[in-house]
Amino acid sequence: MSLLRSLCRPVFVSLLAASLGGCLFNERGLESPYTVAREGLTPIQEDPVVLVATTRKPVSGLRQSPYFTADRGPGLAFAEARLNPPDRSITGSITSVVTSPWSVNAVGGGSTGNAASAFAQAANGKDVLLYVHGFNETFETALASAAQLSDGVNWSGKTALFSWPSGGRLIAYQYDRESAMWSRDAFESALTALAANPTIGRVHIVAHSMGTLLTLETLRQLRSEAGEAAINKIGAVVLASPDIDIDQFEQTVKRLGPVAQRITVISATNDRALAVSARLAGGIARAGSAERERLTALGVRVADASDFGSRLQIIRHDLFLSDSDVRQVIARAIQRSR
């Protein structure tokens, strides 16, 4: 989440709770979703379910918000979340100007027993779009972003989220970084299970900000532990505004082998959030604001978004969600890797 969104965090509203609320729960999560396919809707709007693998601590038996907290849980947990899609009415369009168009309706599951296997089984028969959030995200804002991403690229497979224990506060930068790295083994377990499921096609990963550090380090670990067969199941890897030390980025990408050729970096030299992060890191440039030539020398694709977005987008850290041109970069990256 960008610093701008952090300072002006929208209050999520339940726009369609009544029409989407008739869901039954069991130990695995949501069952029998009531969905009505309507002309012009994207797949995630027709069936607004996001599969979740998380290392956050569950609360209240997942019966009410916040469902999962900023604390570290006992291990990997699997859940299914049903969201309220955007209200397409005139009133809803006006409301969405000041609120998020997506909000959480219900969360089911929360199982920690063999969570990686349950996560992979829930994705049976589909390609997977897996979102890994960044710094200063709550569980619910991360879910909303996952749905918004899927909506924006018109994704037709399974939509999934890996949520690590971000503190959800601007002052928790160091806690977030350490929590992200603490989540590597759990994330590797989730990816290994997805890769081992023969019914799943490709797993496409879109990671944002600090989540890109977790993603790259986990992919490096996955290749080392599970081998080329697992890493070859990974499709597009889109790193949006990566908050990674450029030297560490170079070192890690060189260890990823052929998967490096499927990496797309969405960068912006005028990303103000990454400028702040660089200062916190002692002046070391972040990969998301590095010079294009230094990135392309590693064999990755680079989409320079410095000139994208409106003048009102001062921080320029969330363009992968807010700008239609940048969303098309993601869609093309996925298409190339299929």
Domain boundaries, the chain: 37-53+116-337
Using DSSP's 3-state secondary structure scheme, residue 177 falls into: helix
Torsion, Cα 215 217 218 219, to 10 degrees, reads 80
Within the chain, which residues score under 70 in pLDDT?
A: 1-39, 88-100, 309-317
- For 123, the token pair is 């994705």
Backbone dihedral angles phi then psi of residue 169, each to the nearest 5 degrees = -140, 145
Predicted pLDDT of residue 166: 97
> Is the CB of residue 141 less than 8 Å from the CB of residue 211?
no
Predicted pLDDT of residue 89: 57
Backbone dihedral angles phi then psi of residue 163, each to the nearest 5 degrees = -115, 120
Predicted pLDDT of residue 139: 97
Predicted pLDDT of residue 316: 59
How many Cβ atoms are within 10 Å of 258's Cβ, its own excluded?
A: 12
Predicted pLDDT of residue 275: 84
How many Cβ atoms are within 10 Å of 254's Cβ, its own excluded?
A: 12
Using DSSP's 3-state secondary structure scheme, residue 272 falls into: helix
Predicted pLDDT of residue 38: 54
- List the beta bridge partners of residue 77: 54
Owner of token pair 């890897």: 237
How far lies 229's CA from each of 23, 69, 184, 197, 264, in Å? Answer: 37, 34, 19, 12, 21
- For 72, the token pair is 């570290």
How many Cβ atoms are within 10 Å of 225's Cβ, its own excluded?
A: 12
Quick one: which of 186, 259, 182, 161 has its CA closest to 216? 259
Predicted pLDDT of residue 199: 97
Quick one: which of 228, 243, 122 has its CA closest to 173? 243
Predicted pLDDT of residue 7: 35
CATH superfamily of 37-53+116-337: Alpha/Beta hydrolase fold, catalytic domain (3.40.50.1820)
Predicted pLDDT of residue 247: 94
C-alpha to C-alpha distance for 293 and 272, rounded to whole angstroms: 20
The tally of CA atoms less than 13 A away on the side-chain side of residue 188 is 17
Predicted pLDDT of residue 310: 47
Predicted pLDDT of residue 30: 43
